[in-house]
A and B are shown apart, each in its own frame.
Chain A
Amino acid sequence: MKAAVFRTPHIGPDSVAHQARLLSLWEGEPGLKGFLSTVDHKKIGIRYIVTAFVFLVLGGVEALIMRLQLAGPNRTLLTPEQYDQLFSTHGMTMIFLYALPILSGFSNYLWPLLFGSRDMALPRVNALSYWIYLAAGLFMYAGFLIGAGPNDGWFNYVPYASRDYNPGLNEDFYSLGMVLLGISTTVGAANFVVTAMRTRAPGMSINRVPIMLWGTLTASVANLLVVPAVSLAFFLLWMDRQFGTHFFDHQQAGQPLLWQHLFWMFAHPWVYVVVLPAMAMVSEALPVFCRRPLVGYWLVALSTVATMILGFGVWVHHMFATGLPGLGMAFFSGASILIVLPSAVAVFAWLATIWLGRPVITTAFMYFASMIVLFVIGGVSGFMTASVPVDWQLTDSYFVVAHLHYVLIGINVFPVLGAMYYWFPKMTGRLMDERLGRWNFWLTFLGFNLAFLPMHLTGLWGMPRRIYTYQDGMGWNTLNMITTIGAFVLALGVLLFVVNVFKSLKSGAHAGADPWGAATLEWSIPSPPPPYNFSIIPTVASQHPLWEDRLEESRVRSSIDQGMLLDESKEMIATTPLDAQPDMILEMPEDSLAPLILTIGTSLIFVGLLLKLWSLAGAGAVIAIVALVVWLWPQRELREREPEPQAPHTEVAHG
C-alpha cells in the first residue's frame, strides 16, 4: 500500500497564501453538521473538558447534598436508599466521568500543539472516543434520574451487587454503562499511544518530548492493559444477574473475591491513570512560572513509568481485610510502600525547580505549587494504608475518604484548575482574570483543606465510610460539621472559577501567541490556533524550542519559521517513534459522521441489552456495522505516502 506514491514534502517559509490554502483544507463545516462530524482535536479536546467539568459540578452537587445529611447526627434529609445512590453516583461521576476525561481533554487539545503536529493520529477514533464517553455518561445518569442509579459504591462489591440482593435495574445500568465507557477509554488510549509514537514533529526525538507526553502515554498504555479487566468484570456481573451464570455466586462455586481482584486489578492502576497526566501537566507548566527548565526531567519521566509499573502490583492493598494469606499480603504491602519512591522523585523535582528558579506568583502557579503539598498529604496517608496492620484499622473508615480526596482533588482537580489558568489563553485567545483567580484559588484551597484535613481525624476516630447517618455520642459531630462547611467553601471557590471563565471569555485581556514566555511549541502559534495548528511543520532541536536563545544549551536551533509546508491536501507528517525522523506523509480524514453514528448504534445495543429488547440491540448492531463499513471503506485520498528515503529536510533535525 505504502509503495503506491512517493512524494517529498516541500520545504519553505510561511506565507499568507499558504495559510489561506491550509485553512481551506482544514477548516470544518459550519453549522450543526460540522458540529456533529468534526474530527478536529481542539474541538474534541474542549468538548471533553466542558463535559467532564459538567460532571464535576454534578458530582459536586451530589457531595453537597450528602454533606448536608452528614452535617449532624441522625439527620433525615435523605433516605438510606437515596444516600446510597448519591454516594455511588458521586464516586462513579468523579472517578469515571470526570477524572480521566478531563485529562484526556487537555491531552487531546494540547498534544498535537505540543508536538508541532496538525491533529491526533486517528482523528475519527478521537471523535468516537468522545461520543462514546458522552453516551456512557448519559446512559449511567439515565439510571440515576429514574431512581436506578448505582447503589453499591463505585467498586460495586458482589454479592450485594448480585440480583439476589439488588433486584432493580440499578446495577444493570452501572454494569453496562461501564462496559460502554470502557470502549471509549480503550480507543482513546490507543489513539494517544499512536499519536505519541508517530506524530511528533521532525527532530522531536524521545529525549526532547515535552514532559506531558510521559504522563498521558503511561496512563494510556496502562489503560490498554487494565480496562479489559473491569469490562470483563462488569460483563460477567451482568451475565450473573441476567442469565444466572455463577462467576461470583458462592453457592454455585463462584467467588465473591474474584470480583474484587478483577476490579482492583483495574482500579488501582486507574488511580495512577487519573493522576499521572495531571502530574505531568504540573511538570510541564510549573517550570514556566519558575523561569527555568524542570529539574531532573529524565528522572521525572522515568519515575512516571516506574510508578505505573509498580502500580500494576499493588491492587491487593484494597483487600487487606479479606483474609488473604499473610505472605501474599506482605508482597503487596512492600510494593505499596515502595511506590512512594517514584512519587518522591516528582515532589523533590518540583521543589528544586521552585528553589533553583525565579518563581513568579500567578494563579496557575499557586495551583501547581499548592498541589505539591496536597500531593504529599495524599501520598503519606496512602503510605499509611500500605502497611497491612495499620490498614486493618484505617480501611473503610473516613481516613480513606480523606486520603482519596487528597489524591483526586489534590492531584487531579488542583492541577486541572492550574492548567485551565495556564492554557485558557491558548484555547480562547484571552487571559483569565488574575484578581478573581486569587479569590478562586484561596477559596478552593482553604475550603478543600477545611473539609478534608479534619476528615483524617474523623477516620482515626472510627467513622465508617458509606453510612447515611451516625449516632450521637461517637465523637464525630463537630468534625462533620466542619467538613460540611469546608465543602461549601470549596464549592464557592469552584463557582468563582466558573464565573471567571465566563467573564474572561467575554472581557479577558488578549493573550497573543505566547503570554507566559513559555518554552513549548504550542506558544509559537496564534491563540486560539487555526484549524491546521502549524502552517509549517517545525523542526525541533531541543526540549525547549522557544527557550533555546536564552538557555544556550547548544548552538543548534529549532526551525519554527521554515519547514515542511504539506499543503497539497489535508496532510501531516508521521515520524519514527524514537528518533522522530520524517517517515511518511499522513493523509488525514475529513470530518465524518461515522463516529457519531457508530456511537448511536453501539448505544442502542446497550439500551437493548439493558431492557432485554433484543430487536433493539439487533437494530443497534446493524447501525454500528453500517457505520463501521462506511468508516473503513477504502478511500483513494487517504492512501499514505512516504517521502523518499533521504528526504532533504533541514539538517538541524538531527542536531
Chain B
Amino acid sequence: MSQIPLGYLDAAGQRAQIILPLTWFTLGVSILVCVIIAILLWAGVRRARLSGGAEQTRTVEVLRGSPGMRWIGIGVGISSVALLVTLVWTMVALARSSAPADTPLTLDVTGQQWWWNVKYNAPQPDQSFITANEIHIPVGVPVLVRLHGGDVIHSFWVPKLSGKTDTIPGQTNVTWLQASQPGRYRGQCMEYCGVQHAHMGFEVVAESKEDFQRWREHQLQPAPAPRTDQQRRGMELVVYRCGLCHGVRGTTAAAVVAPDLTHLMSRRTIAAGTLPNGVGTLGGWIEGAEQLKPGTLMPDQNLTGQQLTDTLAYLETLQ
C-alpha cells in the first residue's frame, strides 16, 4: 500500500499514526455493520414465497403480525455500544493529535494558486530562508507548520504524516509533522481552489538530522554567481523577466509572487509536483506553461531559442 502516494491506510508519521488505528476501527465496524445488515436483509427477503407484481401482492393476506419492537431495541442497543466506543476514542485521539508543546522547528507555509510557499524560521534572521513545493524535515522531530492563505482557501495534506488543515486567508492555522522514518511523502492541496487545483502537489522529504542540516545550510547559500557568458546572459533574463514574480537570492530578483528559484535544481519536481524537474521539462514549462498547466498564472515567455538556451544554462546552476 505504500506504493499509493496519497493513500492513508499506512502511516509514516506521528500524527497519522495516532489517527490510523481509529480509521481502521471505524472502517472495520462499518464493514461489519454493512455485512450484518446485508445478510439480515438477504435472509429476510429470501423468506418471500412470491415474486411478481400487483396481482401477486394483492393475493397475500395482510396480517397484524407481532409488534417486533425487540428488533429495534436490540439493533439500536448494539449500535450504541459501537458508537460510544468510537466517541470516546475520537475524543482521546483528538486530544493526542494536538501539536506537542516543544517543537524545535517552525515553518510558515502559504497556499497560493497553485503552489506552496515554504519559509523556514530561525531565531536569527540570516538563518531563515524561503523555498517552494518541497519541504525537508528531520526524522523524529516534531515540526510545527503555520498555515497561511495566500489568496483563496487551500488545504495542506501529507496523508502519510498528518491529516488535512486548511490554509485560510486572514487566519493562521497550525498543524504539525513528525516523520517516523526517512522517505519522500507526497502532499496535495485538498480544498478546491480553482482551475489548477488538480496540480497543486508538493513533497515532504524526511531525512536524518545530519542530512537535514546539510540541506538547510545549502539552502541558506545564495545562488552561485554565473561563470560563463551564456550563464551571465541567462541570469540577466532571469532577473529582468522571471524576477518580476520569482526571487533568486544573490541577485536583484527578489519578488515573492511565485516560487523562489534560488535552489530550483535541488528540487525534484516543478510546477507544484506536476512535472519532474530537469532542463528539458524546465524549457517546456518556460515556453508553454499554459499547455502543461492550463490556467496557470505563469505566462508564456516567448523567448527566442537563444534566450531560452541561455536562461536554462543559468537556471541549471541553481543547484
Contacts and interface: CB of A to CB of B under 8 A. Distances in A.
A434 B45 contact: no
Contacts of A425: 54
Interface in A297-348: 299, 321-323, 326, 329-330, 333-334, 337-338, 340-341, 344-345, 347-348
A557 interface: no
B213 interface: no
A291 B90 contact: no
Interface in A536-551: 547, 550-551
Given A337-B90, A388-B90, A79 B294 contact: yes
Contacts of A475: 3-5, 7
Cβ-closest 10 pairs across A and B: A392-B163, A462-B6, A250-B170, A348-B75, A323-B173, A352-B71, A467-B198, A380-B30, A515-B54, A295-B68
Interface string B3-43: 11111110000001011001100110111011001101100
Interface stretch (A157-165, A209-217, A218-226, A625-633): A157-165
Given A292-B65, A361-B48, 19 more contacts: A256-B169, A292-B63, A295-B69, A322-B173, A338-B87, A345-B75, A351-B41, A355-B44, A360-B48, A362-B53, A384-B26, A387-B90, A388-B90, A393-B163, A434-B53, A468-B198, A511-B54, A516-B54, A553-B64
B69 to A, nearest CB: 6
Interface stretch (B133-141, B184-192, B280-288, B300-308): B184-192
B201 to A, nearest CB: 8
Contact of B63 (A330, A360, A550): A550
B204 interface: no
B165 to A, nearest CB: 6
A425 B68 CA distance: 31
Interface stretch (A47-55, A127-135, A140-148, A371-379): A371-379
A361 B51 contact: yes
B4 A373 contact: no
Contact of A323 (B8, B27, B171): B171
B26 A467 contact: no
Contacts of A643: none
Contacts of B236: none
Contacts of B101: none
Nearest to B153: A157
A529 interface: no
A396 B79 contact: no
A352 B68 contact: yes
B79 A341 contact: yes
Residue from A321, A329, A396 with most neighbouring chain B CB atoms (10 Å): A321
A361 B50 contact: yes
A517 B41 contact: no
A650 interface: no
Taking residues whose C-beta sits less than 8 angstroms from the other chain, chain A's interface range is 35 or more
A464 interface: yes
B228 interface: no
Given A387-B22, A551-B64, A373 B41 contact: yes
B164 A395 contact: yes
B124 interface: no
Interface in A348-401: 348-349, 351-363, 369, 372-373, 376-377, 380-381, 383-384, 387-397
Contacts of A482: none
A152 B9 contact: no
A84 B195 contact: yes
B251 to A, nearest CB: 31
Contacts of B30: 380-381, 383-384
A383 B34 contact: no
B237 interface: no
Nearest to A390: B23
Interface residues of B, number: 97
A619 to B, nearest CB: 37
Contacts of B26: 383-384, 387, 390
A467 B71 CA distance: 44
Contact of A517 (B57, B87, B169, B196): B57
Nearest to B89: A387
B149 to A, nearest CB: 8
Residue from A357, A358, A389 with most neighbouring chain B CB atoms (10 Å): A389
A288 interface: yes
Interface stretch (B91-99, B115-123, B217-225, B252-260): B91-99
A357 B44 CA distance: 9
Contacts of A165: 113, 151-152, 194
B58 interface: yes
B41 A330 contact: no
Residue from B30, B38, B61 with most neighbouring chain A CB atoms (10 Å): B30
A242 B242 CA distance: 34
A474 B94 CA distance: 29
A373 B69 contact: no
B152 A159 contact: yes
Contacts of A354: 41, 44-45, 47
A279 B317 CA distance: 66
A519 B126 CA distance: 82
Contacts of B54: 362, 425, 431, 509, 511, 515-516
A473 B189 CA distance: 18
A80 interface: yes
A333 B7 contact: no
A431 B3 contact: no
A293 interface: yes
B155 interface: yes
A255 B170 contact: yes
29 contacts: A160-B152, A256-B169, A289-B57, A323-B165, A338-B83, A347-B37, A347-B75, A348-B71, A348-B76, A349-B68, A354-B47, A355-B47, A356-B66, A356-B68, A360-B48, A362-B56, A380-B29, A384-B26, A387-B90, A396-B164, A396-B192, A461-B6, A462-B188, A474-B5, A511-B54, A515-B54, A519-B62, A550-B62, A551-B64
A322 B168 contact: yes
Residue from B23, B37, B192 with most neighbouring chain A CB atoms (10 Å): B192
Interface in A452-498: 460-471, 473-475
B67 interface: yes
A651 interface: no
Nearest to B36: A376
A348 B58 CA distance: 25
B159 interface: yes
Contacts of B171: 250, 257, 323
A12 to B, nearest CB: 30
B267 interface: no
B52 interface: yes
A151 to B, nearest CB: 8
B50 A360 contact: yes
Contacts of A383: 26, 30, 83, 86
A81 interface: yes
A60 B163 CA distance: 32
Nearest to A299: B72
B80 interface: yes
B194 A160 contact: yes
Nearest to B171: A323
Contacts of B170: 250-251, 254-256
B153 A296 contact: no
A608 interface: no
B62 to A, nearest CB: 4
A552 interface: yes
A516 B196 CA distance: 54
A360 B57 contact: yes
Contacts of B69: 295-296, 299
Interface in B191-229: 191-198
A526 interface: no
Given A351-B41, A389-B93, A461 B4 contact: yes
Contacts of B19: 389-390, 392-393
Contact of B68 (A254, A296, A359, A369): A296
Contact of A340 (B52, B60, B79): B79
A292 B64 contact: yes
